[in-house]
Structure formats: structure tokens, C-alpha cells
Amino acid sequence: MDGFAADLVQRVAMLEERTKPKQKTLLDKLKDWGGVGTLLIALIYTFPSNLYQQTFQPEKKAREDLRLIIEQSTMILADGLKAASSTSNPSSASQLNRYYTTRAYLVMARQQESLLKYKDQLTPTELMVVGMNFSIVNRPDLALIFLDASLSQIQRIKEIKGDAAEELVTQLQALRLKAQLMFLPSKLQHLSTGRNAFKEAIAIAQTSKSVQEKLSLIDLHHSWAGLERLHGDWACSETQLNAALEILQSIQSQLFDNQQLQQTLIVTSQLPSRPQQPRQGCL
């Protein structure tokens, strides 16, 4: 089940590991979700079902059943993160990764048809988490379906309410995950779509005012830069790195310690270019 991506709790500090051309462990992949880390651990769904719901409210019952599936698969992956981080033996960690990702995949695969059928009954955040989980278990095709559904629901909320401020974190995470999926080599790879997703996320985050929000904006630029370095355009990677460094310099006096963050940006800047790598910019 090894497959997707890198950084759960301190994503920025993990770019060096993520950009190495090797198979990613569950621990690495879960660490790729930045602010989703808290959501991953804390998101617990506990909604009851009863005979009345099953008989007279089948759609509500279906939705609550799906929430339990999301809870179960998410907590299995969180347990896998905890188990893998508890051992320093690479072989044991790898075995634990496979065990927990397989368990999560089986839970989701058994209910795949229901998840697809009733996805419109889920909230944008639930859809984003389903997409994230499918990404971790190496089903990017299904992950994209749920990420796009999450973004579409947020757009509908905006059209109805005029804004969707309460869904901002979900929107940024869904865009980030979609962008990453579009960059990774596969039959789904589509760099321009990935760049557009990053551009949209950055445009939303540009209004950031707090230091923590600016760190998230740095992380977006940094993530884009790393993916361009590995799979895309050299000049675009340079542009995104420079943007991340500029923001970091603007807030460095407010940071207790920015050495680790600055070092990760330096590590990315030192990655060598690929043979005949394009240098056309972020087109």
C-alpha cells in the first residue's frame, strides 16, 4: 500500500525526507498533511442510528454509517502513525505501516460503493478526510473524486451564503492534497492542474495576518517548490522558494526559532536539477 506523500505535524521540517526518491512509509505519508494532523487525530464521529432512521430516514442512516467508516479508517491510520513512531527498527516500522494501511484500505474498500453513492450526504470536511485517507492507501483515483466533491460543496456554500469562511481550512487542505496528487508520477499526473490548485490555495492564504497563518503560507509555497523540483519546472521551483523565503524574512523577528524552517528551504534549494528539466516558470 506504499504510495503517497509526506508531513503531518511539522510538515515544513520534513521536506528533506519527502523529497528523497524512495518509497514513503505510513509515517512519512501522514506527516504530509500539515494542519490536517490535528484533524486526523481529533476527528471522531459518534452519531447513533436506530430503527426509525433505518426505516424512515434511509439517507440519514446511510450518512451516519459513512461517518462511522470515516472514523474507523481515520483512527486506524492514526494508530498506525503512533505504532510506527514507537519503534526505531526500520523493518518493524515498515511492517506496521503495511499492516495498518491494509486494515484501513479494507475498511474503505468494503464500503467504497456506499461512499461514492452517498458522498453528497457528507460535509466538505468529511469528504476531504475521505480523500486524504484514499490518498494514504494509494488510491489517488478515488481520492480525487472526494477532494473535488469537497471543493464543489464549498463552492455551493459560497454561492448560497456569500462566503464559506468556516470551511477555509478544509478548502486549503483539499486544494493542497489535489495539487500533490496532480504532481506525483502516475496516469493521473497533470502538472497544470496541480499548479492551478496551488495558485488557488495561495490566493486564499494571501490574506494571512497572524504568524501561524503566514507559516502555513510559507508551507504552501515550499510544498509547491519541492514538487516542481522533483517532477516539474526548475524556474517555477525557484519562484516558489523565493516567495517562501521572502515571507519568512518578514516574520523572522516574531519567531522564537526559525533555523529549522530556514534549513528546510535551503535543503530544497540545493536539490539538483533533472536532466533537461524545463525552465519555463509556473505556466
Dump pLDDT digits (tens) for 123-179: 999 999 999 999 999 999 999 999 999 999 999 999 998 888 889 889 999 999 999
pLDDT on residue 59: 63
Segment 51-86, tens digit of pLDDT: 334 444 556 777 788 888 899 999 999 998 888 888
Confidence of residue 263 (pLDDT cuts 50, 70, 90): confident
Phi/psi of residue 272, each to 5°? -75, 155
CA angle 131, 215, 246 (to 5 degrees): 125
3-state helix, strand, coil in the chain (%, to 5): 75, 0, 25
pLDDT on residue 58: 56
> What distance in Å separates the CA atoms of residue 3 and residue 25, rounded to the nearest whole number?
8
Residue 263: half-sphere exposure toward Cβ, Cα within 13 Å:
8
> What distance in Å separates the CA atoms of residue 11 and residue 23, rounded to the nearest whole number?
17
CA neighbor of 181 nearest in space, from 251, 131, 217, 220: 131
DSSP state of 35: T
Mapping DSSP onto H, E and C, the string for 127-188 reads HHHHHHHHHHCCCHHHHHHHHHHHHHHHHHHHHHHCCCHHHHHHHHHHHHHHHHHHHCCCCC
pTM above 0.85, yes or no: no
Contacts of 39 (CB under 8 A, 6+ apart): 125, 129, 169, 173
